[in-house]
Amino acid sequence: MKAWISLPALALLAACSSEQASTVNTGFSEDNLATSQACFAETPSVLLERGQTLLETGPAGLTRVSWSLGDETGDLALSISGMDTVTKTALDAANAAFYSAAGRQHDHSTDAVIYHRTTDGTFCTVVRDEATGRALVDAVTTLPVPSAD
């Protein structure tokens, strides 16, 4: 008699532990991989599509900004080594604003924002929104520091 009582409990346990066959559509698939060849390139601006801006940061202490905005393209590399605190703080604020805007715009189903990371920890972000890119470019091109090139 005790076996009959435990059978419904075993059936319920088996039903709850079975694998779900449902899938969640995240918009991400191998057929929809947004990429940017500009990340980690020697001269990223020539590989950016019109309207894109790239920010690359990493453990080497370099910040690289490249852009193709309107008819203007450019590449700038800044080294934080030896940078005074005021300038470094301004650079960090510009980078943070760019990353924050990129995070709000990111959508796995589009290439509005593209992220790449290398195994050494270098992080590259490409944003298609011109206003976001222009804010970064304006901020870094007015910093009182020599380029790292």
For 15-105, strand residue ranges (E) read 53-57, 62-69, 72-79
pLDDT tens-digit readout, 65-85: 999 999 999 999 999 998 999
| 123-127 sheet: strands from edge to edge | 72-79, 62-69, 53-57, 123-127, 113-117
Residue 59 has pLDDT above 70, yes or no: yes
pTM listed for this prediction: 0.72
- For tokens 């020697």, what's the residue? 42
Residue 29 has pLDDT above 50, yes or no: no
How much is the average pLDDT of 26-43? 65
